[in-house]
Structure 1
C-alpha cells in the first residue's frame, strides 16, 4: 500500500471516528439552555438577550447587520494598518481601497480570496485581529444558518428559528476556538511557526544570496483557516509554504481539519430532528460524491493526461515535492469539495481534466461535504428538491421529515442554486467580453477561459482557490469578484432562513404509506444524481469551451 493510499484510508477512518462524538457535541452546543459565563459577558457587551428567540427575518437582519459592520471594520483596518503596531515597514503591495474592499468582503463571506500576498501586504496585527477573527465568526455564521434551517424541520407551529447572536457566540467559543487551539498546538509541534518576527530573519541561500524571511503568528491562523473552511493563508504560497505546512503529517492534519466539522454536522442534524437515520443518509450522499470526486481527481492527475507534458518529472509541475502528486490531489479535492480554498499545490498546473474536477466540485454547490454550515444547508436544499421531483414522478404530495414541500418551500429551494450559477456565468461572460479584464489573462484559448471561469466559480461559491495564471489585482476584478462573493454568500442564506421560517410554521405531518422514505439507499442515490445533473446541465457548455476543449486538444 502506498503512503498516499494509507493516508486516504486513515483519513476516512478518522472522519468516521469523529462523526458521532463531534456531531453529538455540536448538537448539545446548539440545544443547551445553559450559557457559559464568558458568553454572558459577550451578550452584555453586544446588548443581546440570549433568551429571546427570533423569527427568520429578524435572524437574517442580525446576520446581515453583523456582516456589514465586519466588512466596514476590516476595510478601514487594512487601510490604516501602517499607523498601527506590528505592521510591515516596507510592504511590497500597497493596500488600495479596491483591494481592501475585496479582501474585507472575502474574509467576511468565508471566501478568503487573496488578490494580495499575505507576507508582503498584511501586517501581523491585521492578520490576527482582522483576518483571523473573521475566520472564526464567518465560519460560526455559516453553522448558525444551517442550525436555523434544521430547527425549521424540528419545530412545529412557531415563528422562531433561534437566536443568531447565541448561535454565533456558541459556535465560536464552544466549537471553533477549542478545536483550533488543539490544532494549532499540533501544527506547532510538527514544525509550523508561531512568532512575531517581521522582516528580521536574513539567511544566506545555497547560491550565496541574501534572503529575508518573514515570520509571524502562522499556526494559530492556519488551524482556523482549515477548521472553519476559510482558506486564507498567512503566506502567498498558502499551504504549500513550509512555515504553514511543514510535513506530510501536517498536510494530513490540515485535510482532516477542513473536513471534520462539515462531515459531522449531518449527525447534528439527525439528532436535532430526532431521526439519526436521516443524518446518516445526508452524510452518505456527501461521502459518495466525495469518493467519486477523489477517485477521478487521482486518476486524472496520476495518468498525466491533458495539458501536462509527458516529459520526466513534468507531472510535478506546480506540486510541492514534500507532498507529491497523489497527496496534493487529495488536498485539492478536499479544499474544493468544501469551501476552504486553501492549496498545497498550483491548481493552474493540474491536467485539464484534473482542473475540471476541482472546478466541478465547486459548481455542484460544494455540498460534499461543503463549507462549515453551508455544506449542510446546501445538501438539505438538494434533498428537498429531490423529494419534490420524486413526488412528481409517482404522483405523491412531497414531504420531507414530516414537513410538506408546498409551492412556497419549493420556490425558495429552487431559487437557491441559480444565484451562484448566474453569478458564475454572467461574471465570466462580462470578463471575456470586456477588453480590460481580458488583458489580465496570461493565457489564451481554452486554458485562458478556464482561468476566468475558475475565478468566478471560486468567488461565487465562496471558495477562494484560483488558477493563478490570471491577474486579478485590478479595480475591475477586485470589484466584480467582491460583488460575486457578497451576493453568493448572503442571498442563499436569506433564502435558507426564509425556508426555515416557512417550515417552522408548519405542523408535523405523520408518515403514511404514501410517504417517500428518505433514509434508504435509493433516496441517497437519487439525491446524488439530482445534485450532479442539475449542475452539469448548467455548466456543461462553459466547461466544454474550457477544460474539456483543452483536454481534447
Structure 2
C-alpha cells in the first residue's frame, strides 16, 4: 500500500508543472523555449504551406484531421506490404499479410496499437520506425490537437474558431512529444533499454541451447508509446520483458510517462475555462464567480471537479485490482500451495503485486495498452478492473480522450439534475438543449454499442468462435476485452485469443476506426454548437459544476450508465468466473 500511495503522490507533484506547460502550449502563451521552437515550427509551416494565423470552424478542423489521418493510413499500409525489401531489414522479415496490415495500420493511426503480431518477428526496422514509431507521434498529437480544439470550443472565446488543426498538430509534436521523448528515451537507455540498428543477438544459454535476443531502436519506441498513451511494443511480450522494461526505475519512467499528459489535459481545461471567465468578468458581459482556492489556482475550478471524479474512479479500480491480486488463487491454496505473495502468475517478480496492479489499472485507465504483466492471468476481479475501465473510457484516458468523454458525462449529469429540479440545464455558462443532448447521447452510446455488438458477432459466428481458446466464462471475458480494448483505442489484450485471422483482424480494425473517429467528430460538433450560444448569468438555481458534490454526482452517473450497459456481460464473464472460482 505504501508503494501505491507514494507512486500517486509523486504523480500529483509532477503532473502540475506539466499541466501548466501544456496549458501555455495550447493557449499560445509564452514559454521559455519559444526562441527555439518558434524557429522549428516556422520552418515546418513554410515547407508545408501552413498559415498559422488562419483559424478553422469545427467542421473544417474535423475534415483536416480526417484527411490527414487518411493519407498517413494509406502510406503506412503500403510500407507494411513492402517491408520485405532489404532496407533496414537485417532479420529478413517478410511482407505483412493484407488483413493484418489493415488491422495494424488502423490500430496505430487510431492510437490503439493493438498487435495481432509479435513486433520482433513481424516487423522490419523500417516498419518499426516509419510506421510504428512515426504513427505513435502523429496519432497522439492528433488526439491532443482534437482535445485542445474541443476545450477551445467549450471555453467559447469566439463563435466559430476552434484553432488550426495543422498548427495544433505541429505544436504538440515539437513542443511536447519530441522534447519529452528525447529526455525519457535517454533515461530508458540509461536503465539498459537497447537503442541500435543491429540484428538480433544469438547467444548460448546455460541449458546449452540457442536463444535470440531482440535488438533495434527499442528505447525510442518505448518512450513515445507511453508518453503518447499508444501502447503496443517492440517485442510481443511488451513491457513485461527486461528488454523493454529492465528495472523498477524504468517501470516508473514508463508509468509516469503514460500518466502525465492525460492528467495535464484536465489542468489545461480548467485553466482555459478560467481564462474565459476572467475575460467575461473584466468585460462585465455576465456575472461570474471567481472565488479562489489553492486547488482552483492549480487545476481551475472546473478542472478540479473533473480531475477529482476521474481520480475517485481510478482509486476504486486500483484498490479492487490490488486487493483481488493479493488474495491469490483459492484453487492453489486448496492444493496446499502457499498464496502468501498473492497471485504471482503472469507477473514479474521485480515488480510484484503492487506495481503490477498499479501498471494494470493505469494502462487501461489512461488508455495506453502497454503491460508489465499478462492480463490474461489476472484473477477474475483483478481482470475485470482493466476491462471495466476500458468500457468506461473516462478515467483520464489517453491523448485527451478521457477528458472529452468525461465532459459528455458532465453534460448528461447536468441534464439529469436539471430534470430533477425542473430547470433548463447549463454547463460552463451555456444552456444545454436538444441538439447537444442528442449528440451527447449518441457519443456515449457508440462506445458500448461497438463493444457489445462485435462481441455478440464473435460468439455467434463460427469464424469468431474459432479464435476463442478458453471455454466458459473466461473465454467470454477475452472476447469482451478484445473489443473493449479496440473501441477504447487501448490496445492491451488478454492474449488468449487466436486473433490473427480474417475475422478478428477486420472486426477489431472496424471497432478501432469507428471508436476513434466517430467520437471525435461528434465531440467537436458539440463544442461547435456550444461556442455559438450566448452566455447566461448564474442564479440561485444554477447547478455549480466545480464542486466536490458535482464530482460525486459525476462518478455515480458514470457507474450507473456502466451498470445499465455492461453489467449483464460482466456478470456472464469475470463475475461468474470469480463466483465459480471461490465457490
TM-score between both structures, scaled by the size of structure 1: 0.96
Q: CA deviation at 1:305?
A: 4.9
Distance 2:40 2:245 in 1: 33
Cα shift readout 1:486-520 (whole Å, capped 9, x = no counterpart):
00000000001101111111122221221111111
Cα shift readout 1:464-506 (whole Å, capped 9, x = no counterpart):
0111111100011101100000000000000011011111111
Residue in structure 2 matched with residue 21 of structure 1 by the alignment: 17
2:211 alignment partner, SS class? strand
* Equivalent residues in 2 for 1:201-220, closer than 5 Å: 201-220=201-220
Q: Which moved more, 1:298-307 or 1:130-139?
A: 298-307
Distance 1:307 1:141 in 2: 47
Q: Which moved more, 1:426-435 or 1:144-153?
A: 144-153
Contact 2:436 2:526 in 1 (8 A): yes
Distance 1:399 1:417 in 2: 19
Residue in structure 1 matched with residue 224 of structure 2 by the alignment: 224
Q: CA deviation at 1:17?
A: 1.4
Residue 70 of structure 1 pairs with residue 72 of structure 2: yes
Query: Which consecutive unaligned segments of at least 5 residues does structure 1 have?
Result: none
Contact 1:74 1:130 in 2 (8 A): yes
2:343 alignment partner, SS class? helix
Q: CA deviation at 1:202?
A: 1.6
Residue 438 of structure 1 pairs with residue 465 of structure 2: yes
Q: CA deviation at 1:10?
A: 2.7
Contact 1:88 1:122 in 2 (8 A): no
Query: Which consecutive unaligned segments of at least 5 residues does structure 2 have?
Result: 31-36, 278-299
Cα shift readout 1:22-53 (whole Å, capped 9, x = no counterpart):
11111111222787121122223333221111
Q: CA deviation at 1:248?
A: 1.2
**Taking structure 1 as reference, are residues 38 and 327 closer, same or farther at Cα in structure 2, changes over 3 Å only?**
same
Residue in structure 2 matched with residue 260 of structure 1 by the alignment: 260
Residue in structure 2 matched with residue 279 of structure 1 by the alignment: 303
Q: CA deviation at 1:88?
A: 4.6
Cα shift readout 1:62-86 (whole Å, capped 9, x = no counterpart):
0100111111111111111111411
Q: Which moved more, 1:221-230 or 1:324-333?
A: 324-333
**Taking structure 1 as reference, are residues 524 and 305 closer, same or farther at Cα in structure 2, changes over 3 Å only?**
farther
1:546 alignment partner, SS class? helix
Contact 2:426 2:543 in 1 (8 A): yes
Distance 1:309 1:500 in 2: 54
Match of 2:409 among 360, 382, 389: 382
Residue in structure 1 matched with residue 250 of structure 2 by the alignment: 250
1:81 alignment partner, SS class? coil
Residue in structure 1 matched with residue 240 of structure 2 by the alignment: 240
Q: CA deviation at 1:156?
A: 4.6
1:272 alignment partner, SS class? helix
Distance 2:154 2:308 in 1: 20
Q: CA deviation at 1:177?
A: 1.0
Residue 129 of structure 1 pairs with residue 125 of structure 2: no
Distance 1:469 1:279 in 2: 39
1:203 alignment partner, SS class? strand
1:161 alignment partner, SS class? coil
Contact 2:80 2:95 in 1 (8 A): no
2:162 alignment partner, SS class? strand
Residue in structure 1 matched with residue 4 of structure 2 by the alignment: 8
Residue 467 of structure 1 pairs with residue 494 of structure 2: yes
Distance 2:146 2:436 in 1: 17
**Taking structure 1 as reference, are residues 416 and 305 closer, same or farther at Cα in structure 2, changes over 3 Å only?**
farther
Residue in structure 2 matched with residue 117 of structure 1 by the alignment: 118
Contact 2:193 2:243 in 1 (8 A): yes
Cα shift readout 1:193-250 (whole Å, capped 9, x = no counterpart):
1111213x12111101111222011111111111111001000010001011001111
RMSD: 1.6
Distance 1:57 1:503 in 2: 14
Match of 2:382 among 333, 351, 354: 354
2:347 alignment partner, SS class? coil
Residue in structure 1 matched with residue 427 of structure 2 by the alignment: 400
Count of aligned pairs between the two proteins = 546
Contact 1:157 1:506 in 2 (8 A): no
1:231 alignment partner, SS class? coil
Q: Which moved more, 1:147-156 or 1:472-481?
A: 147-156
Match of 1:447 among 465, 468, 474: 474
Q: CA deviation at 1:252?
A: 1.5
Distance 2:26 2:231 in 1: 25
Match of 1:297 among 309, 321, 331: 321
* Equivalent residues in 2 for 1:312-351, closer than 5 Å: 312=338, 315-351=343-379
Distance 1:123 1:309 in 2: 45
Distance 1:252 1:540 in 2: 33
Distance 2:182 2:210 in 1: 35
**Taking structure 1 as reference, are residues 308 and 233 closer, same or farther at Cα in structure 2, changes over 3 Å only?**
farther
> Hey, which bits of structure 1, 4+ residues long, moved more than 6 A?
306-309
Q: CA deviation at 1:307?
A: 7.2
Distance 1:113 1:28 in 2: 32
Q: CA deviation at 1:142?
A: 1.0
Distance 1:309 1:59 in 2: 58
